[in-house]
Amino acid sequence: MLDTALLRPFRVLAARLCLSCLVLFLVLCASAAPALAQAEERGDLAILIPIEGTIDARVAALLKRGLDEARSRGASRVILAIDTPGGQLDVTQEIVSMLAQLRSSKAKSGNGHVDTVAWIRSQGLSAGALISLSCTRIFMSSGATIGAATPILVDALDQVSDAERKVISAVRADARQIAQHRGKRVQLIAEAMVDPRLVLRELRYRDETGLLKTELVTEEELDRLRGTKGIEIVHNLKVGGAGDPPLTVGAEEALRIGLSEGVAESVDELVRELGIEASELERIEQSWSEELADFLYEIRIFLLIGGVIALLLALQIPGTGFPEVLAGLCFVFFFIGNYLVGFAEWTEIILFVMGVALVLVEAFVIPGTIVAGLAGIAAILVSVFLALQPFAMPNGVFEERILEENLWSLIGVIVSVTVLGALASRFLPRLPIFRGLLLSPDGDAASLENSGTEEEERMPLLGRSGRAQTDLRPSGKVEIDAEPYDVVSDAGFVAKGQAVRVIVVEGNRVVVTPIEDAPDGDAESGAVGISLLLLITLFGFLFLIAEVFIPSFGILSILSAVALISVVVMSFAHGTGVGLAFLLGLGTTVPIVVWLSLRLLPKTYFGKKLILGGPSFKPSESLARESGIEDMPGRQGVCVTDLRPAGTIEVEGRRWDAITRGELLEPGTPVEVLKVEMSQLVVRAVRESASEDFQEASA
């Protein structure tokens, strides 16, 4: 036997090792407990974001703020309370992209899966349907509907142009891609919500083995099953009821076909369905700035009408200041509301201010030239119109429709201002508050007929000579025998100091003409010399050329416009002929300068150094495509729907969006895939011999 004294050191060492391991284990558990508790606490958090009204930039901004809050708080669920009839397609695509990024970012970061839940309270139509399909789960209230996501609002398909068919086909592909994470069944439902040509049927049948199956099929697939031997159809029901396409379903039908997971009438019921506590739910509410932007955006047309009417009222009762302040507030709130929702930019605001400045210049600085006033009114109209939409020129069917709606809105504003202005001019003078502000003439018309000739007799001035005390544009003051008189020039502009002679006296109206042999006749007429006008024109062209090649966010173009417009306005001070010559010259020279800048300067040494080559665009690298689409060229399939020229084909049991090179193909026609364009397959009909081989191979 071993001596116990020899084993004692080993026993002590073993005991110390065990004690050290136990202490280390307890320390690790203690340090990990708060983190685990925090992770558990954060993982149960749910964020509820309301998606209400028309889908536009306001909704996208609120959703972005809510998703950022969910990321920062580590929430495991994001609930979208949806009640919308639809909205802008580009904003919808942005929202769908944000939800997809939320799912992918959670997966990549290792923080676990984030559950995006769509709760349709009343309407989930059009854009609302696409947003709901992008969520991982869908719940609906009992009276809610979802669907009708066709981008073009038409009564029948034969009223849709070829361009609109292509748009429908593209949105259908997007809908299928959006619903990809929900499975093939929901993908088919999403396509039927977009494409009115696709009608779905809920089919229950017995196959060749006698097994009872329930599937969601298209009418083309139904016809194929009817022609298959051994198939017994037990139940055949159209999805969506008796309504016209595109597909729209209610809560019960959505639950039956597997689109939604349950019915929830309130937030409390939804919380119970999700299995979370009410205390774990936090709502994202609109901030005061978002509420202000929402309110100002809704009343933008009324602000525009009020601003114009206030300006007209200011012309009727000048000097009080109230109409001017009211008009200024209306236009300020109009631009603030459109700026907060992302429609108006600083370019529109600066253009509006420039337009107002030009109108004031026309009214108080150089009255009678008309050019500054017309330019100012044009700038105001353009700035107001651009502030109603997020684009300058429409690109596609959707933006064309927005442009058309804005044009009708402006026409409505003009009609409203005309009617309200006529009513105001008729009834305002009768109100007690305006009687002291609006002047009315004393006496009748007969007593006022010759009132203009009752002043001091001025006939002795006829033929007398004097000198202009101010510039005559064409009215002004002249000095005759050390006395000032208000006169009108018959020669347009007359410079200060020019010798003149009275040629007509009619009551208080005195008409003068410049004396040909005036001693200062060699002085250059006008407030600004011709040489200085040419120098300003040169700077205007330099600013214009620089704007073409140097990004300045519109600053250089604004400086160029101010310089060239100022030249035209000041040139009329030298006479109508000189002003028209400058106007015609600049009107023809500006387009030529821009064209030469775009065509010639890039070919020069300086242009090659200044202008960078743009990146090449490769659709195959930049577009998200379905898996396996690159391997499709050369394969054969069959048409599932009409290809006129776009439609759907089936290749090896899988459906694809396809387009022909102009051919019109019927369902059942064998086709061959030629190439892939963007996210569609380009196909052609298979020759008869090849078609027979294909049918034999398929059989």
Answer yes or no: is pLDDT of 619 > 50. no
Q: Are 187 and 179 in contact (CB under 8 A)?
A: yes
Find where tokens 């958090």 sit: 45
Residue-level pLDDT at 647:
84
Percent of the chain, pLDDT > 70? 71
List C-alpha distances in Å: 62 to 288, 306, 455, 581.
12, 29, 70, 54
Answer yes or no: is pLDDT of 34 > 60. no
For residue 480, list its beta bridge partners: 483
Residue-level pLDDT at 273:
87
Q: Are 560 and 598 in contact (CB under 8 A)?
A: no
Residue-level pLDDT at 548:
65
Model pLDDT for residues 575-596, shown as the tens digit of each residue: 667 777 888 888 788 778 777 7
Mean per-residue pLDDT, 152-172? 62
Find where tokens 């040494």 sit: 605
The structure's pTM equals: 0.51
Percent of the chain, pLDDT > 90? 5
User: Which pLDDT band, with edges at 50, 70 and 90, does 9 fall under?
Assistant: low
Can you say whether the dihedral through the CA atoms of 84, 85, 88, 89 is positive or negative? positive
* Exposed e or buried b per residue across 262-297, where buried means at least 16 C-beta atoms within 10 angstroms of its C-beta: bbbeebeebbebbebeeebbeebebeeebeebbebb
What average pLDDT does the structure give for the chain? 75
Answer yes or no: is pLDDT of 16 > 80. no
Q: State residue 512 phi and psi, 5-degree precision.
A: -125, 165
List C-alpha distances in Å: 695 to 92, 637, 689, 691.
42, 10, 10, 6
Mean per-residue pLDDT, 590-616? 63
**Tokens for 104?**
């992918």
**More confidently predicted of 134 and 279:** 134
Mean per-residue pLDDT, 664-669? 85
Model pLDDT for residues 399-426, shown as the tens digit of each residue: 677 777 778 888 888 888 888 877 877 7
- Residue 494 to residue 313: CA distance in whole angstroms: 35
347 Cα distance to chain centroid: 15
Mean per-residue pLDDT, 106-124? 73
- Residue 106 to residue 128: CA distance in whole angstroms: 24
Find where tokens 């060699």 sit: 522
Model pLDDT for residues 667-684, shown as the tens digit of each residue: 888 999 988 887 788 888
Model pLDDT for residues 258-273, shown as the tens digit of each residue: 889 999 999 889 988 8
Residue-level pLDDT at 521:
38
